[in-house]
Amino acid sequence: MRMNWTGLTATAIGLVLVSGASAATHKRADRLIAGAREAMARGVPAAAVRQAEAAVREAPRDPQARATLGRAYLAAGRFRSAETAFGDALALDPAQARVAINRALAQIALGRADEAMALLDGLRGGGNDSDVGLALALLGRPDEARPLLIAAARAPGADARIRQNLAFAYALEGRWNEAAAIAAQDVPADLVAERLRRWAMVGQLRADPAMQVGAMLGVLPSADAGQPEALALIAEPVPASAPVLLAHVPTPPAPPPPLIAPPPVPPSEPVASAFAGPPRMRAARPVLLAAHVVPVRPALAWAVQVGAYSTVERTEVAWAALGRRATFLADHMPTGSAFRRRGVVLHRLSISGLASRADASKLCRRIQSAGAQCFVRMDGGDRPMQWALRAKAAEPA
């Protein structure tokens, strides 16, 4: 009996120690979650991802930490990672309707329309019909989206966000009169046309779900290798039946073999792969040109490239999303040029006319610190984007 009491006492002490450690762990996780949310509010998604990943490492079974990680990935344009994180959060707490809607958006961006549709079907009538309707509109199901959005807009307490969701859905249908009338309820009259123009741009991206969802959310889709394996949600172990067996053994059992923890998974480096930027194009290196061009290159010969897209329209969407992250770019004129790669014409989006490589590198570092990707290259004859010139001309004198 004495040994039994000693074992119980040791167990009780162990429970106290584990409880204290758990409380401290969750306190650290809560601080990291708050930091991630603050970073998202400041428009710095890369910092939000770092904080949220650290929170999940501290508290891997906390649904709020997983949900915050999903939001951070979404803000960074990492839709594959976001879908995984939201799925993990729902596995821990299936009652999170907002998390389910965000997961559906990530699935739409990934082109997994059937999965998104199945998820949204289970959310109808649950108090989030405006968001469900908006997601259905993105899926190209206006007849299902419209009744939900209209009912939500007519409900007592409907706010501007709900009405704008309805207006946006009308715009995706091409019903511009209804879209303009509803948008005008909350948007100043002189800004309605601009709002409709942006919605039209989003509608034109239907063939590219990632760009369309990104344009709607105001984020730029990023290369995404997926959530780090070290953050994968592991099923909770089933309680062992050892205590029941011990209760029937008259003599003290032999001490069980020590539990051997699985070897730690080497941490992956998702940030490096996600924001590595486009591969360098060796043909554009100045060393190669120097063999043929002896004179000193003229000034203003450097550029910072922030992306390359299949259409000019997508460069405008990408610049708008980048401007929300890096507000200092408002002073720069976006430029670009077309080039052909593997038979496909792509359109560069860049900031050119920089006096030196040092200036270009400094600007690129600022862009990267805002959570976007870029690289420095020689100016390849980039010209101001026509859509940027039109917007500049429309500004009041």
Residue 378: phi and psi, rounded to 5, are -70, 145
- CB of 227 closer than 8 Å to CB of 84: yes
Average pLDDT over residues 245-263: 42
* In a shared domain, residues 189 and 289: no
* In a shared domain, residues 53 and 131: no
The three-class DSSP label of residue 293 is: coil
Asked if the structure places residue 271 within a domain, the reply is no
User: Which pLDDT score, from 0 to 100, does residue 5 have?
Assistant: 40
User: Which pLDDT score, from 0 to 100, does residue 275 have?
Assistant: 31
Q: Does residue 103 have a pLDDT over 50?
A: yes
Domain end, chosen from 192, 218, 244, is at 218
- Give the separation between CA 330 and CA 324, rounded to whole angstroms: 10
Q: Does residue 38 have a pLDDT over 80?
A: yes
Asked if the structure places residue 230 within a domain, the reply is no
* In a shared domain, residues 289 and 389: yes
Asked if the structure places residue 262 within a domain, the reply is no
Domain end, chosen from 218, 233, 248, is at 218
Asked if the structure places residue 256 within a domain, the reply is no
Q: What is the DSSP letter of 215?
A: H
- 327 or 260, greater pLDDT: 327
**pLDDT > 90 fraction of the chain, expressed in percent and rounded:** 44
User: Which pLDDT score, from 0 to 100, does residue 3 have?
Assistant: 44
**Domain region containing 41:** 18-95
Asked if the structure places residue 233 within a domain, the reply is no
Q: Does residue 121 have a pLDDT over 80?
A: yes
- 336 or 13, greater pLDDT: 336
User: Which pLDDT score, from 0 to 100, does residue 384 have?
Assistant: 84
* In a shared domain, residues 66 and 141: no
Give the contacts of 194 (CB within 8 A, at least 6 positions apart). Answer: none
Burial of 16 (0-12, 13-18, 19+ CB in 10 A): exposed
* In a shared domain, residues 35 and 137: no
Tell me the pLDDT band of 358, cut-offs 50, 70 and 90: confident
Give the contacts of 179 (CB within 8 A, at least 6 positions apart). Answer: 167, 168, 170, 171, 196, 199
Structure tokens at 388: 């940027």
Residue 199: phi and psi, rounded to 5, are -65, -40
Structure tokens at 22: 């758990």
Which pLDDT tens digit goes with each residue over 267-323? 333 333 333 333 333 333 333 333 333 333 344 478 899 988 888 888 999 899 898
- CB of 308 closer than 8 Å to CB of 346: yes
Tell me the pLDDT band of 237, cut-offs 50, 70 and 90: low
Domain end, chosen from 218, 235, 250, is at 218
User: Which pLDDT score, from 0 to 100, does residue 266 have?
Assistant: 38
* In a shared domain, residues 129 and 83: no
Look up the CATH number of the domain holding residue 58. 1.25.40.10
Bridge partners of residue 350, in order along the sequence: 305, 335
User: Which pLDDT score, from 0 to 100, does residue 260 have?
Assistant: 34
* In a shared domain, residues 289 and 382: yes
Q: Does residue 207 have a pLDDT over 50?
A: yes
**pLDDT > 70 fraction of the chain, expressed in percent and rounded:** 76
* In a shared domain, residues 147 and 210: yes
- CB of 213 closer than 8 Å to CB of 67: no
Tell me the pLDDT band of 36, cut-offs 50, 70 and 90: very high
- Give the separation between CA 319 and CA 374, rounded to whole angstroms: 12
Asked if the structure places residue 116 within a domain, the reply is no
* In a shared domain, residues 361 and 290: yes
User: Which pLDDT score, from 0 to 100, does residue 270 have?
Assistant: 35
- CB of 77 closer than 8 Å to CB of 219: yes
* In a shared domain, residues 158 and 82: no
User: Which pLDDT score, from 0 to 100, does residue 382 have?
Assistant: 82
- 96 or 11, greater pLDDT: 96
User: Which pLDDT score, from 0 to 100, does residue 25 have?
Assistant: 81
* In a shared domain, residues 155 and 83: no
Asked if the structure places residue 5 within a domain, the reply is no
* In a shared domain, residues 159 and 209: yes
- 38 or 20, greater pLDDT: 38
Which pLDDT tens digit goes with each residue over 159-172? 999 999 999 999 99
User: Which pLDDT score, from 0 to 100, does residue 393 have?
Assistant: 55
Total tally of structural domains belonging to the chain: 3
Asked if the structure places residue 110 within a domain, the reply is no
User: Which pLDDT score, from 0 to 100, does residue 24 have?
Assistant: 82
